[in-house]
Amino acid sequence: MLTQLHIENIAVIENADIEFGRGLTVLTGETGAGKSIIVDSLSAVLGARTSRELVRSGAEYGIVSAVFETDAAAKWFEENDFEPEDEIIIRRKIGSDGKNNCRVCGNPVTVSQLKQLGSMLLDIHGQNDGRQLMDEASHLAYLDGFGKTSDELTAFKDAYAAYVACKREMDRLSMDEAEKELGIPCGKTSKDGKFTLQGTRCLGCCGLAPVMVVNEDVYGKVTPEMVKDILAKY
């Protein structure tokens, strides 16, 4: 659940702190009191698109921070290789120049990552707005949940991770063997320091191919004859 919200230099709000208790919280006020600013601030801290117009006039930046107490985002922390936290602290700094700085529990994240996390923490509903239901990225999770396939999904993820690890090791071993067969002196640099001959995997089906890396000071001056002479020396 959302427990705290801090708003600084957002629209007409210079500084405000709101604490939320358990149960229903109702924010009331006349038109122009700032109710929509609180909703916009929540949207911003959850990764919604913002603009520099949101920053209070005359301020260099605006800040929105939110604290959540939940374990609903454990999957997000695992996928992004962060230590899971019982108390999730999110902070987004919006500059008057349009630049953004986002952090989750002190870790820098992108706005895209923040949006993914936000979708697990809170839903904001308006007229004709079912955000999660319309998000195509969530449809597969709905299908898996409806089919109760969590065990099969976990088994598939583990099997696929093992396959990727084996394939990576096979590629590494194949490359090592190919280098031995071809006798390519990987990383060998010419005496004048201008060229480096490396062994690299070709994008086609020809296995390894020697590649000459040219330093910037001689780039554009290399001729086919120079290449032949250099390769002949190895």
**How does pLDDT run across 131-146, given as a tens digit for each residue?**
667 778 788 888 888 8
* Range ranked top by mean pLDDT from 94-103, 125-134, 211-220: 94-103
* Strand 107-109 relative to strand 208-214, pairing: unpaired
pTM over 0.85? The answer is: no
Cβ atoms of 85 and 106 closer than 8 Å? no
How wide is the angle at C-alpha 49 spanned by C-alphas 43 and 51, nearest 5°?
105
Answer with the residue of higher pLDDT: 178 or 74.
Answer: 74
What are the structure tokens assigned to 12, written together?
A: 């007409």
Residue 184 CB partners (closer than 8 Å, separation 6+): 197, 198, 199, 208, 210
Residue 188 CB partners (closer than 8 Å, separation 6+): 196, 197, 234
CA distance 64 to 46: 10
User: In 26-99, which ranges are continuous DSSP H helix?
Assistant: 35-45, 74-79
CA distance 103 to 91: 5
CA distance 117 to 135: 14
CA distance 88 to 146: 28
Give the pLDDT confidence of 152-208 residue by residue, as tens digits. 988 999 999 999 999 988 888 877 665 555 544 444 555 555 555 444 444 334 444
